[in-house]
Amino acid sequence: MRFNWGKKDRSEQHPPSQLLMSLARFFELSPNQVAAWFDASTNTLTLPFACQSQQETLSETLKQAEVGPLPTIQQQVMLSGAPQRRLRNIKNLVAVASGKGGVGKSASTVNLALALQAEGASVGILDADIYGPSIPTMLGNEGQSPQTQDDKTMQPMESLGLKANSIGYLVPPDDATVWRGPMASRALQQLLDETDWGELDYLLIDMPPGTGDIQLTLAQQIPVSGAVVVTTPQNLALADATKAIDMFRKVDVDVLGVLENMSYHQCKNCGYQEYLFDQGGGQQISQHFQVPLLGQIPLDTDIRTCADSGQSLLAKPSELTAAYQSAARQLARRLYLSSLSQPQAIDISVQSD
């Protein structure tokens, strides 16, 4: 089974309209947007973005809709970006950014990466937060260094099922903090290009906080397919998140969504929800810029303890796990939609070899 990224011979496929309608309704897309997922000759449905946890429900929905013989459902994440872009073995590069520091951008990057993985994708993290690399701590492999097999490329570090590279694995923390803009950008470029990432469905890039020159240069240099902006709900943070969205728009990077972090704290004893950093900011910004609100993540001890001790928050089911997985699925779907509107994505079709 392989994807064909060119124009499709429609005579090869005539998916039953009932199937297409149900599929489109399920993913809140149009029948045209899902038509190419179905291969009538093998009765196979290939989902082009990470959403594995939905397959059972989808199957049940199709059954109830009496679409005929149930198709085999599989997942193959689609490649996005310009047709000639470098790093084509990485299907999607996504920047995770914040207008200001300390909003939980790195913790969100790791948990979104783990959530995409839980949705059946192969995922890596590039820690571009050169002045405060926290990914090694969050993946529990601080103090280790990547190996090389050919003296040219680095093998990425592997932890919790994720591939990763970070300046934090390569130089002592104090060395990187004195780097100036161009040197930092060069180091990151090297980190991206000279890591042997292998095949990845998604590479999440933990950007340095802020919206200065280095962030702007990075957003332009790295062939990102889109960006996620992490914010806390209060006004002060929103002003910075606004700057981050403006920055990405200026360099034509699609903002795939806003993730509101530390939205509230829920008392473990009585269930009372307290909105420590105000309420509704994420919603406000998502409405203002017409970008999806991917989720509202509470302030929760489990998030901090997992992030600070290199354990996976997603290892066991919980409300938090569900919130991150829902955010990850929305992100993956948005990325797919965004790549459909790019020039190379004329059509996709599925053909059996």
Pick out the residues of the known binding site for ATP. 99-106
DSSP readout, 221-267? HS--SEEEEEE-SSHHHHHHHHHHHHHHHHTT--EEEEEEES--EE-
Residue 339 CA to residue 79 CA, distance in Å, equals 8
Residue 333 CA to residue 94 CA, distance in Å, equals 13
Contact 206, 135 (CB under 8 A): yes
If the CB atoms of residues 79 and 299 are measured against ligand ATP, the closer one turns out to be 299
> What x-and-dash track marks residues 263-302 binding ligand ATP by CB under 6 A?
----------------------------------x-xx--
Closest distance of CB 299 from ligand ATP, Å? 4
Closest distance of CB 73 from ligand ATP, Å? 33
Residue 248 CA to residue 232 CA, distance in Å, equals 19
Asked whether position 260 contacts ligand ATP by CB under 6 A, the answer is no
| Binder among 6, 68, 102, 181 for ligand ATP (CB under 6 A) | 102
| Binder among 45, 160, 164, 303 for ligand ATP (CB under 6 A) | 303
Q: Residue 336 burial by CB count (10 A; 0-12/13-18/19+): exposed, middle or buried? A: buried
If the CB atoms of residues 134 and 325 are measured against ligand ATP, the closer one turns out to be 134
Asked whether position 106 contacts ligand ATP by CB under 6 A, the answer is yes
Residues within window 121-150 making contact with ligand ATP, judged by CB under 6 A: 129, 132, 134
* Sole residue written with tokens 């679409």: 67
| Binder among 205, 262, 285, 332 for ligand ATP (CB under 6 A) | 262
Which range of residues in 3-11, 234-242, 270-278, 304-312 is near ligand ATP by CB under 6 A?
Answer: 304-312
Q: How many residues of this chain interact with ligand ATP, rule: CB under 6 A?
A: 21
Question: CB nearest ligand ATP: which residue?
Answer: 104
Residue 216 CA to residue 263 CA, distance in Å, equals 27
Give the CA count within 13 Å in the CB-facing half-sphere of 63: 8
Closest distance of CB 210 from ligand ATP, Å? 8
Here the tokens at position 13 are 């496929």
Give the CA count within 13 Å in the CB-facing half-sphere of 277: 21
If the CB atoms of residues 35 and 241 are measured against ligand ATP, the closer one turns out to be 241
Closest distance of CB 346 from ligand ATP, Å? 38
Here the tokens at position 226 are 């889109």
Closest distance of CB 254 from ligand ATP, Å? 22
The helix, strand and coil proportions of the chain, stated in percent and rounded to the nearest 5, come to 40, 20, 40
Q: Are strands 273-274 and 265-266 parallel, antiparallel or unpaired?
A: antiparallel
If the CB atoms of residues 323 and 340 are measured against ligand ATP, the closer one turns out to be 323
Residues within window 182-241 making contact with ligand ATP, judged by CB under 6 A: 209
If the CB atoms of residues 47 and 160 are measured against ligand ATP, the closer one turns out to be 160
Give the CA count within 13 Å in the CB-facing half-sphere of 88: 5
> Annotated binding residues, as ranges?
99-106
Asked whether position 10 contacts ligand ATP by CB under 6 A, the answer is no
Closest distance of CB 308 from ligand ATP, Å? 5
Which range of residues in 48-56, 266-274, 303-311, 333-341 is near ligand ATP by CB under 6 A?
Answer: 303-311
- Cα separation values, 130 from 164, 165, 230, 275, Å: 14, 11, 18, 32
If the CB atoms of residues 38 and 264 are measured against ligand ATP, the closer one turns out to be 264
Residue 306 CA to residue 322 CA, distance in Å, equals 16
Contact residues for ligand ATP (CB under 6 A)?
98, 101-107, 129, 132, 134, 209, 261-262, 297, 299-300, 303-304, 307-308
